[in-house]
Structure 1
Amino acid sequence: MTQRAPATSGIPLAEIIGEAFANLRVQGRRSALALLGILIGTASIVALLNIGHIAQLETLKLFRHLGVDTVQLQATPTGEMPPGFDPDVVAQLPARDPDVLRAVPIITGRASISAGRQTTDAGIVGMPPAFAATVGLAPRLGRLFRPIDNCSPVALVGKGTAEKLSAPGAELLPGAAIIVGNYGFTVIGILMPTALEAINPSDYNESVIVPLACSRRVVAGGVPNIVLAKLRPTADPDIVGQRLSAMLANPRSAIQVISARTYIKTMNAQKAVHSRMLAAVGAISLLVGGIGVMNVMLMGVMERRREIGLRAAIGATPRDLRTMFIVESATLAVAGGLFGALLGLLATYFVARSSGWTFSIAYYVLPLGTGVAGLVGLIFGLYPAITASRLKPIEALRAE
């Protein structure tokens, strides 16, 4: 059964919609140009908001191993003495502060590394043996530390450092002897490439990792200069960080607190500012597209005055005329919004691939972009529709 408009209309709604589509096809290039403006604006909004969504996911990946409930306390020198923390105080932190689940002491520094005739300068990281797996280290060759290795002169070598210590035809392999500073170590593992995470104390790819007890031989000071504290999920990292700083304070060290949550909050705030600014650019493009739609509709009203007058003369009400032009403008806008959403996703995909990010879709963006485009079409099509509905039939029929 044919659906009809309300009683105040003189023409069936289905017929009005069909005429609107036919008129858009007749206008050809003009309709396509108006649709293009909406398409570009929608694509900009969808792409920019979705890129912001992916960037936020990538930010969280920076903490995928240690988690977001982590605080790093780093000792920096206040004088000539090497900075550091008392290992006994570090060990007591979970017992002294109820919000601390675990505190891990780490020693970092740099030293000259030799393997045969190959020599390079690399970072030195001393950590408890069990912590190597916690930070996501994985062996490409050999194995990770075991508890028995804590007092043994053994080492894990990062991918980048292993390449620098390898000679042509003589790759550095587990079992090789290396000299770290003036001490000999046996390589037990060559590490897989490791992503640099924000809260990690060092770039493991360019480092040699040794058991904490052995690191005192090759790192100046011989005491931990970094503490990683795992907090309860409900703890405030800023407040806990201040308490831990007070517990670890000593005359030779200034303590810098780096909170994973604060780091994420700051990065997301910066991304939000950029996303809003770029989305505003997309909104301006969409606004220009809406003006294009209005221009097409107004030109249509001027060129179709006789048609409008004839429709009014055979029974079309002002509401019918308004509906016809609003349907035309909304069709342009929604079609531009749908194609723009697809183009925006395609642009997001290429940006993610070129940046080395994992592609992901923020599904709320799709109806948002298309819905805004449709709303723009309705708003900018309203004035031409009202203009058409106010034409007097006699005057419109006399138009050339």
Structure 2
Amino acid sequence: MSPRVEQSLSQLLHEAFVSLRTLGKRSVLALLGIVIGSSSVVALINIGHNAAVDAAMIFKDMGTDTLIAQFPTKRSGNLSMRAHLDLDAVRSAVPGIAHIGALSLFSGPVVFNGRTANANLVGTTPGIHEAMRLVLREGRFLSPFDANETYAVIGDQVAQALGAPGDPLRLGDRVRIHDYLFLIVGILHNQPRAMLMPVQANESLFIPAEGMRRIYANPQIGNVIIRAAPGQDMERIAREAAAALQRQLTDHSVDMTVPQQMIDGMTRQSRTFAYLLLALGAISLVGGGVGVMNVMLMNVSQRRREIGIRMALGARQRDIRNLFLLEAVTLTAVGAVCGAVLGMTAAWLYAWLSGWVFSLAVAALPLGVGSTLLVGLFFGIYPAVSASRLQPVEALRDE
């Protein structure tokens, strides 16, 4: 770019700032409208993005390769569910299943050294810890050889509730459930909450499924947890596993929950939510653009004599148009930058107050700043064209 052109652009920018400054409060009010509009777009895009990420993480914590089967009754009435299912037959019938386990759920008090804590009492088959991704802090999980033993694996939260300063619950201790003492053979790490899981591991005591009859007269399988091998078609596995389980049941149907379907649905819902927020931000931005047009029209009205002098001295229509268009874009550019900073700050503050991990939406800044500049350009065209079409003689008559 030649020095002459650079000087011309510099001069035009200087004149634009001087002109906007002379408008005083009108420029400030128009700038405020642009800042609010731009910050709304940036903030709402980021808020929608962070809401979608947080919602998706709730389901992803349990793994997209996990399936959960439930067994509602086919007919009205309280029909008992079976206490045993042939899970090996299901694994053989459905290629791609890595781990499968069943849960029988009950709840009640657990007693240790005179201290009592309420817990989920979970009767489990040996494969459940892999299916649920349970991680041990100490000891081991239940094995097929423990079927008739009074062994238990305890969740972190229950272990802490039963322990006391100087007297923590340790491996080898026994806890009492009703009239039976269960030997603790494993203590779980603190597990993240999995919203779709039928039971939270931290609040549970796991015992062999066969031992549930010691504490509950009529144990029933409540859920079957299936974890697929990597790279499997989850829709296929869900369909075939449901059919394999259904062959073992007569009075109950099989409802299969596929987390990946819920994640996909959540993604679509979040996208719609983001579009709605973007539309709200755009409405606010259009309001700021109307303020820019109002200021520029007022600017043209006050500078008619100056426009006439410029034209009389040889300024072309496009020079006048570009001068006022540059002023409009300059005003919106300042508002866009300030709005971007304000919008990012507002989005971060909202995420912090909501307990989310802030994640910057890739499109937020380009879309927020770009749309603001386009709005300023669009609403600045009419005043700029109106100024360029003034006749020098008519403009010079204005006092």
Question: What TM-score range do you get, normalising by the shorter chain?
Answer: 0.7 to 0.9
Matched, 1:235 2:233: yes
1:1-400 aligned within 5 A? 1-4=2-5, 12-77=8-73, 79-84=77-82, 86-88=84-86, 90-128=87-125, 131-132=128-129, 135-138=132-135, 142-145=138-141, 147=143, 150-151=146-147, 152-166=149-163, 170-212=167-209, 214-215=211-212, 217-218=214-215, 221-222=218-219, 224-231=221-228, 233=231, 235=233, 237=235, 240-249=237-246, 250-400=249-399
State the 1:289 CA deviation: 0.7
Q: Cα distance 1:25–1:210, how it changes in 2: closer, same or farther (>3 A)?
A: farther
Q: Cα distance 1:148–1:99, how it changes in 2: closer, same or farther (>3 A)?
A: closer
- Write the distance in 2 (CA, Å) between the matches of 1:100 and 1:315: 82
1:65–1:135 contact (8 Å) kept in structure 2: no
Residue range with higher mean Cα deviation, 142-151 or 255-264: 142-151
State the 1:302 CA deviation: 0.9
2:142–2:208 contact (8 Å) kept in structure 1: no
2:46–2:360 contact (8 Å) kept in structure 1: yes
Aligned residue identity for 2:394: E
- Write the distance in 2 (CA, Å) between the matches of 1:329 and 1:84: 75
RMSD: 3.0
Q: Cα distance 1:364–1:201, how it changes in 2: closer, same or farther (>3 A)?
A: same
1:159–1:206 contact (8 Å) kept in structure 2: yes
SS, match of residue 253 in structure 2 = strand
- Write the distance in 2 (CA, Å) between the matches of 1:118 and 1:202: 23
Residue range with higher mean Cα deviation, 218-227 or 17-26: 218-227
* Equivalent residue, structure 2, for 1:8: none
State the 1:20 CA deviation: 1.5
State the 1:361 CA deviation: 0.9
- Write the distance in 2 (CA, Å) between the matches of 1:106 and 1:47: 44
Aligned residue identity for 1:302: S
Aligned residue identity for 1:50: N
Residues 341-400 of structure 1: per-residue CA shift (max 9 Å, x gap) = 222222222222222221111122210111111111111111111111111112112212
> Which sections of structure 2, spanning at least 5 residues, go unmatched?
none
State the 1:196 CA deviation: 1.8
2:68–2:256 contact (8 Å) kept in structure 1: yes
2:128–2:225 contact (8 Å) kept in structure 1: no
Residues 111-148 of structure 1: per-residue CA shift (max 9 Å, x gap) = 332223333432123445565366454456x4452658
> Which sections of structure 1, spanning at least 5 residues, go unmatched?
6-10
- Write the distance in 2 (CA, Å) between the matches of 1:134 and 1:240: 14
State the 1:229 CA deviation: 2.2
State the 1:54 CA deviation: 2.1
- Write the distance in 2 (CA, Å) between the matches of 1:76 and 1:86: 16
State the 1:192 CA deviation: 4.4
2:305–2:397 contact (8 Å) kept in structure 1: yes
Residue range with higher mean Cα deviation, 153-162 or 307-316: 153-162
State the 1:174 CA deviation: 4.1
Aligned residue identity for 2:66: T
2:121–2:205 contact (8 Å) kept in structure 1: yes
Residue range with higher mean Cα deviation, 261-270 or 310-319: 261-270
- Write the distance in 2 (CA, Å) between the matches of 1:113 and 1:342: 54
Q: Cα distance 1:217–1:314, how it changes in 2: closer, same or farther (>3 A)?
A: farther
State the 1:208 CA deviation: 1.7
Residues 148-175 of structure 1: per-residue CA shift (max 9 Å, x gap) = 8744533333344345434687554444
1:125–1:209 contact (8 Å) kept in structure 2: yes
**Seq. identity, %:** 36
Q: How many residues align?
A: 392
- Write the distance in 1 (CA, Å) between the matches of 2:294 and 2:303: 14
1:108–1:219 contact (8 Å) kept in structure 2: no
Residue range with higher mean Cα deviation, 275-284 or 206-215: 206-215
Residues 253-297 of structure 1: per-residue CA shift (max 9 Å, x gap) = 232221101211232333333332222221111111111111111
**Structure 1 length-normalised TM:** 0.86
SS, match of residue 76 in structure 1 = coil
